Amino acid sequence: MWNYILISIISGVIFAILDGLLNANPLAQRLFAVYQPIARTSINMVAGILIDLCYGFALAGLFLLLYNSLPGSSGLLKGLSFGLIVWFLRVVMYALSQWMTFNIPGKTIIYIILSGLLEMLVLGVLYGLTLTPWEIIQ
């Protein structure tokens, strides 16, 4: 149980750091300029970090719930599988919805998809190397 809590917090912090690095770098800022008319002029950092921490707990919990059903014979492979599944459901579906709904350049959509892939694989590897289902009940 304590390992789940610790890894959830660590993954939430990693989530926040990666969000900052992937969304605030100069390339991302140029690509995301298309959102400028509707984007907030400032970000509530505390709320963003709290949301990412909640995501860490949710994703770690989902990983543990799905662990036995995930493809792969090792925790690492299960983590990579989980990362790819979450990437598709969270990032790819969001990016394609954005592309269909708004006039967003293809390079922005590609950046969203690739940066999201990196983020989800990092988290999946973390979960795969550190979490196993039996730990939740101890």
Angle between the N-to-C axes of helices 106-130 and 45-66, in degrees from 0 to 180, rounded to the nearest 10:
60
Residue 73: is its pLDDT beyond 80? Answer: yes
What does the domain layout of the chain look like in residue ranges?
A: 2-137
Q: Report pLDDT digits (tens) over 75-104.
A: 999 999 999 999 999 999 999 999 999 999
pTM for the model: 0.87
User: Token pair for residue 68?
Assistant: 């036995």
CA-based torsion, 10, 85, 21, 32: positive or negative: negative
Write out the H or E segment, with its range, that includes residue 46: helix 45-66
pLDDT of residue 93: 97
Q: Which residue has the higher pLDDT, 2 or 50?
A: 50
CA of 7: how far to CAs of 4, 34, 65, 74, in Å?
5, 35, 15, 18
Q: Report pLDDT digits (tens) over 5-51.
A: 999 999 999 999 998 899 888 998 899 888 888 877 777 889 989 99
